[in-house]
Structure 1
């Protein structure tokens, strides 16, 4: 008898007001899980689950119907970690967070990359201590890279550019990811890439003065 193969998948309710799941989403998710399967809750507002490979195509269609967002697990850009958007969708830039997540989540990179976003200077989404951090400042955005949240060498990210409009932000983040893909070593963590390549060299490659 062949053993059942599983696909590890990260799921959540997408970008919204806090990390939530609806009862119907949990019910649907449960139909694809074995009774004794482990479910991991991550700090990136995701559940990591194991879906039987033979059921994956059907599961995706069902997840889409109930609004469950799903992402690959491994050497990809994770979904955008966000704050709770305590002041409302437009004021804290939720549409920008949603669009940025749509563009970058799931992209292949040398090592798992964690992006984060916050809608104000309080920084609840912890953008300064993640690989890529975006902070809204009034009506523009700031981009930080190379943060690290754990270990004795934990540190905040380095500012790449401020006063960005949404389209400028999307383009710049994608160029940063391109640079990492082209120059990062195999399994090189992003903060190590930033250290090795150098923030000034990165800015030069990105044509930022």
Structure 2
């Protein structure tokens, strides 16, 4: 490989399932594309960062997908959905909804890295209240929180913006919030700061189902 060739960083994980796990085949295909002397970076958001030559990005991504791995861009994008471990089962805790939501939003370009999180019950193992967008399944509906921030002295809890949503209502609301943020947010403006500037009630009034 040309040592001067540009490298592209990819975020990789095993997708949404019972816990954040990788199998032997997945670990093996990741290792195949690690350059000697380089290391994997394990993030706090259930992702691994790996750098690959720009000319091989699509080839590597296809190999990862064949092994059951999910790939996402790194930078100012919506991160893949952080989830709980679905300890009570896929259907009871809404794993299909989490998978669908992730497919709809992960990788969308935004003014600043946006971290969504999902948990299948009020115990909140997926930490939805300290992430930009948080979803909590409560009984048969989905409660939606926004504006959480978990770092430093300015850490704050997310604010409940809609509750007891159906899956379709949830998808629509989250996509709408992200689209508004993408359109009106300033460069490198975190979502919680955008909400403070744009106005929580202003944002809420633009969501379908708000009365």
Output the TM-score relative to the length of structure 2: 0.96
Question: Is residue 114 from structure 1 mapped to residue 120 from structure 2 by the alignment?
Answer: no
1:60-99 to structure 2, matched below 5 A, reads: 60-99=61-100
2:24 matched residue in structure 1? 23
For residues 76-99 of structure 1, give each alpha carbon's deviation from its aligned partner in whole angstroms, at most 9, with x where no partner exists.
000000001100000000000000
Paired residues, number: 209
> 1:2: Cα distance to partner?
5.9
Distance 1:41 1:94 in 2: 24
For 1:186, the equivalent position in structure 2 comes to 187
Q: Secondary structure in 1 aligned to 2:83?
A: coil
1:32/1:55 contact within 8 Å kept: no
Q: Distance in 2 between matches of 1:3 and 1:91?
A: 51
5 Å-filtered alignment, 1:28-67, equals 28-67=29-68
* CA positional deviation for 1:53: 1.3
Query: Tell me, what secondary structure is at the counterpart of 2:153?
Result: coil
Q: Shift in Å at residue 5 of structure 1? A: 1.5
Distance (whole Å) between structure 2 residues aligned to residue 106 and residue 80 of structure 1: 10
Superposed displacement of residue 201, structure 1: 1.2
- Does the 8 A contact of 1:115 with 1:131 survive in 2? yes
Question: What SS does the corresponding residue of 1:194 show, helix, strand or coil?
Answer: helix
Q: Which runs of 5+ in 2 are unaligned?
A: none
| Alignment partner, residue 155 of structure 2 | 154
CA contact (8 A) 1:78 1:105 kept: yes
Distance in 2 between residues matched to 1:88 and 1:157, nearest whole Å: 26
Q: Which deviates further from its counterpart, 17-26 or 118-127?
A: 17-26
Other structure's SS at 1:162 match: strand
Cα displacement string for residues 150-192 of structure 1 (whole angstroms, at most 9, x for unaligned residues):
1112111111100100000000000001110111111111111
Q: TM-score, normalised by structure 1?
A: 0.97
CA apart distance, 1:43? 1.0
Question: Following superposition, which runs of at least 4 residues in structure 1 exceed 6 angstroms of deviation?
Answer: none
Quote how far apart the aligned CAs of 1:38 are: 2.3
SS in 1 for 2:156: coil
Moved more, 79-88 or 190-199: 190-199
For 1:45 and 1:100, how far apart are their aligned partners in 2? 16
SS class of match (2:87): coil
Q: 1:112-152, CA deviations, whole angstroms, 9 ceiling, x for partnerless residues?
A: 00000000000000000000000000110000000010111
